[in-house]
A and B are shown apart, each in its own frame.
Chain A
C-alpha cells in the first residue's frame, strides 16, 4: 500500500517541476494552431484591393446560413476589387456561425479565412452581426494570407 501511495505522490510531485499548462487568461493568451478556426477576415490583394468579388459562394456554402452578401458593380475609376463586381455589403452573423470553415473552402478568390480571434463575447445581440468594415483587414495587411 505504501508503494502505491508513493507512486501516486511521485506523479503529483513530478508535476511541480514541469512547465504549467494553465494560462493566466486574459493576461496571458494561447497561440492558436495554424488551422484554428476563429473570427473570419476578408483579405486584400498586394495592391490593397479587396480579394472578395461578392460571388456569394460562401453564403450558399454556409450550412448555418450566417452570411449575407450583396454585390454591386465597381466604379471603374475607384474599384474596390479586381474585376467588375465587389461585395457592397458583407455580413456574418456570429451567433449563427458554427466555425465549420465551409466558406473558406468555397471561396474561389481566397478572400475569406477563419482567423485566430476567438474573443467574440459581447453584451448586445447586434454586435454579433459582423459587417464588412469589421471583417476586412486593414490596408497595412494588404497581401496577407494566413498560413494553412
Chain B
C-alpha cells in the first residue's frame, strides 16, 4: 500500500513503511527507545520528551542528489538539536542515533527533569516493580539528585471506587486524559492548572462519573493512577501471569490474570496482544471475584427421586455417586419414555470442546436432538439463523477492521452494556478513523450521543421491523445488491429473491416507515444512502434482536438489509452478530441447536451426517429436536421429563418465569452443572460442581468468529470438575467409550470432523487465532420479505430492557464492586411519563405484565422515550421474566404507583 523507506538506527538498517514513527521503526530494528506519553492507540503527542534521539538526513545537493562523503557513503546532515522519536516520521535514508553523546545527554536531562518533582515513595507505590519511570530512571537516570528545594505536592484523592489518584507522582504524559476521551468516549479526566502545577483530576474533583473501566490506570506509566481494588494487594513479582479470554461477553478480549497463591488478585490487558490489547471494560478488569468466592460448590449434590420439598432435600454425594445416579436415571427415562423425553439446555458459557461434548452426549450417547444453547430465545429459531443473517459464514472483517469501516449501523443493542469493547472500537474509529455511526435504538444510548457525530434513529418501541423494511426499501431504490468483491454477482438465491422482496417492500415507502417508526423519512433515506454508498459499511446487532419475539422476521430483515446495502458483499464490510456470552458463537458452531450438527451440518442431510455417525459410532436421528422455547413449553406440559441445564440460570434466563418454574417442578430429573447453587440448581435433582473460566483451558470463538485459546490460571477448586470431565464421566457411565484425556484431544476430533475447523490445532491458535470462514457460504442466503406485523402482547407502556455495563448474568451478583457500581435497579421513565404517573423520587412502581408483576424503585431518565419504561435485566432484584413472555413486537406492561420503595439499594 505505502512505500517502504530505509532507516538506519544505531547502525542497524531496517525497511519500514513510509510514515512510520521513529520509535516504531526502532522497535523493528530491535533498538529500545523509551517512551511515556506515546501509546499505540493514541496519536503522537510528544509531551514527555524522554524519546529524544539524534536524527540525521542525507545531505542533498541542488539537483536533489545525495552528497557523498569521504568514505563513499552519503553524507549525513545531523539535526542540530535532538528530536522526539515518537512524533517524527521516518524518511528515506534517515539515520537515527540513540546512543550518541547528544542523545544520551538529552535523555539524562529529561529524566532529571521528570524526577524534579517525583516523590521517592516507590516502597509504598503500587506501581513499584512495573513502573516505567522506575525502570528508565534505573537504566538512564543519574544516581543522585541535584535538587534540594521542596517538591510540589498535591493531595491524593479517590476518584470513585476504582481509581486512586496520587498527583505527586504524575509526569503529565496525558495518556489517561487522551485515552478516556478518544477511546472510551468518556472525557472524565482533565488537567487542572498549568505548567509545573498541572494536576490531572476529574471535573470539579467529583468522583468519576464514567464507565469505571480502569483503563486510565492501565495506561498510566507511573503510579499516579492506581486501581483501588488491587491497592497494596501484591507486587508484580508475586503474581503468576496467565493470559486467557475474558468470560463476560462475546468480544473475546485477552485478559491477563495475576494470581498469587490460589487467588486471582487482578486482571489486566496486555499491550500489543489479543483483539483488545490493553483495553478492558469494568467487567473484564474487576469481574474475577466469583472465582475465589467461598460460596462455590465443592461437591456434587443429589436429591432422591420425587418432587423437591421438605424431607426431600439435596444431599451431598461423591462425584462418582452423582454420576452413577444421573446416568441410571437418564437410562431409566430413556428406556421408559424414549430419548425424546430428554433435553439438553445451555452451554453458551462453556468452551468449544465442552460444547462439542455436550451435544455429543445428547445426540450420540442418549439419542436426543433436543439440544439448545439459546435459553433466552422467545421465538424458536433454527441453529443457522445467526450465521445466515451474517452472511452464512463468508469471511467477516475483524474488530480491528471494524474500527476503520466508514459507516456502521448499530441495531437495537446498547453496546455499552452488551459489548463494551465493540463500543470502544467504534468510538476510537469515530475519533481517529472517521467512522460514521448510525444508531437505531429507542433510547438515546451512549453511542448515539451528539458528541460522537453520528445519527440517532430513535425509533418507536416495537417498530424495529418497520425501520429495517424502510431502510431496505430505500437501499434497493438506489440499485440492485452490490457485486461481490471478486466482481462476481451476488449468490443466485439473492438474485432469485429480489423481485419478490421488491414487490413486498413496495409499500414500505420512507413515509410509511417514518409513520410507523417515528423516525423522519429523510433520516431513513439518508441512512440507507450512507450505508449503500460508503466505501465500507458494517451492520451490528446483538441480543436485543436475537431475543426479540419477532426474531425470525428481524434476522431475515437484517439479512435483506445486508444484501441490499452491500454489507454482505462488498469488501471491508460485514454484518456482525455480537452475541451475549463468550461462547455464544462457539455453541452454534458446535451444533448446540436442535437442527444442526457441529459445523452447521443439517441433521436432515444423510450424506453430511454420515461422517459424524461413523466417528461417534451411533445412529443419529434425522428429525430436528425442539428449540429452547419449545423445550420450555414441552417440559412444563410434561412431555420432556429429563433436563440437563449447564452453566445457565434458566429460572432467570428463560422468557417466562411461571412456565420455567412449572417445567422444573414437573420434570422427573433435572441435572444442573454450575459454579454456585443457583436458583435453578436448588430445583435440580443432581447438581455437579463446575469450574470457572480461570480453571480450565480450551478454545473460545468470539463474535468475529475468531478462535482463541484460553489458559488455566488456577488449579480447579477442590471437589469441582470441569464440564468436559462431567460430560465424559456421565457418558462413560452410560456405556460410551469416551477416552479424552484433555480438551486438546477433543479439539483434535473437532478439527478432524467439523467442517470449517479442518486443519486447526491448539498450536495454531496462539497468540491470536484465525477467524473461521467458508467460501461458498455454509448456509445459503435468501432474500425474503420479512413483514410480520403482530401487535405487542398486553397493553400500557412498552417494556424496554437492555444490558447495563456493571452487571451481566448471575455471576455478576457475586462481585461486590460491580454490584455497588450498578446501584439499585430502577424502572426508568421519561419525564412526561413520570408526570403522568404522578411519581416522585423515592417512589416505587408496580409493573404488571401478562404473566405477573414486579415492584421496582423509579428513576427519571430523558433517554427513555415517552410511552415506555426501561428496566435493566441483569440486576439481582429484577426478574423480568416474571412479567411473562413477550409476544408480537414486544411486551407491554401496566405501570402504577406503588407507594414508597422498600428496597433503595442493593
A residues sitting closer than 8 Å to B (CB atoms) are 53-57, 59-60, 70-73, 83-85, 108-109
Contacts and interface: CB of A to CB of B under 8 A. Distances in A.
B123 interface: yes
Nearest to B233: A71
A53 B124 contact: yes
B463 to A, nearest CB: 53
Contacts of A85: 123-124, 232
B232 A56 contact: no
Contacts of B768: none
B231 A53 contact: no
Contacts of A56: 235, 237-238
Given A55-B128, A56-B238, A60-B237, A108 B231 contact: no
A70 B234 CA distance: 7
Interface of B: 121-124, 128-129, 231-235, 237-238
Contacts of B129: 60
B122 A71 contact: no
A76 to B, nearest CB: 11
Nearest to A108: B123
Given A71-B232, A72-B232, A73-B231, A55 B123 contact: yes
**Which of A53, A83, A85, A109 lies at the interface centre, i.e. has the most chain B CB atoms within 10 A of its CB?**
A85
A9 B118 CA distance: 72
B384 to A, nearest CB: 53
9 contacts: A53-B123, A54-B232, A55-B122, A56-B235, A59-B235, A60-B129, A60-B237, A85-B124, A108-B123
Nearest to B232: A71
A88 to B, nearest CB: 8
B232 A109 contact: no
A85 B233 CA distance: 10
A117 B237 CA distance: 30
Among B123, B233, B234, the most chain A Cβ lie within 10 Å of the Cβ of B123
Contacts of B231: 73
A84 B122 CA distance: 12
Contacts of A71: 232-234
Contacts of B233: 71
Contacts of B235: 55-56, 59-60
Contacts, number: 35
Contacts of A108: 122-123
A73 B129 CA distance: 18
B238 A83 contact: no
Contacts of A60: 129, 235, 237
Given A55-B123, A55-B128, A84-B124, 20 more contacts: A54-B232, A55-B122, A55-B235, A56-B238, A60-B129, A70-B234, A71-B232, A71-B233, A71-B234, A72-B232, A73-B231, A73-B232, A83-B123, A83-B124, A84-B232, A85-B123, A85-B124, A108-B122, A108-B123, A109-B123
Contacts of A73: 231-232
Contacts of A54: 232
Contacts of B237: 56, 60
Contacts of A70: 234
A30 to B, nearest CB: 35
A73 B238 CA distance: 18
Nearest to A88: B232
A92 to B, nearest CB: 16
Contacts of A53: 123-124
A18 B71 CA distance: 82
A54 B235 CA distance: 10
A53 B122 CA distance: 11
Q: Which 10 A-B pairs have the closest CB atoms?
A: A55-B123, A85-B124, A71-B232, A56-B235, A83-B124, A108-B123, A60-B237, A53-B123, A53-B124, A85-B232
A59 B122 CA distance: 15
Contacts of B238: 56, 59
A67 to B, nearest CB: 11
Given A55-B128, A56-B238, A83 B232 contact: no
A71 to B, nearest CB: 4
B168 to A, nearest CB: 12
Contacts of A83: 121, 123-124
A104 to B, nearest CB: 15
A16 B124 CA distance: 59
Nearest to B231: A73
Contacts of B122: 55, 108
Contacts of A55: 122-124, 128, 235
A84 B232 CA distance: 9
Nearest to B156: A84
Nearest to A57: B123
Contacts of B234: 70-71
A65 to B, nearest CB: 11
Contacts of B128: 55
A77 to B, nearest CB: 17
A72 B234 CA distance: 9
A36 B806 CA distance: 57
Nearest to A68: B238
A89 to B, nearest CB: 12
Contacts of A109: 123
A11 B529 CA distance: 114
A108 B129 CA distance: 14
B264 to A, nearest CB: 15
A109 B122 CA distance: 11
Residue among B124, B237, B238 with the highest chain A CB neighbour number at 10 A: B124
A25 to B, nearest CB: 40
A85 B232 CA distance: 7
A84 B158 CA distance: 13
Contacts of B121: 83
Nearest to A83: B124
B123 to A, nearest CB: 3
A54 B124 CA distance: 7
A124 to B, nearest CB: 23
A70 B231 CA distance: 11
A85 B235 CA distance: 13
A71 B237 CA distance: 14
Nearest to B124: A85
Contacts of A84: 124, 232
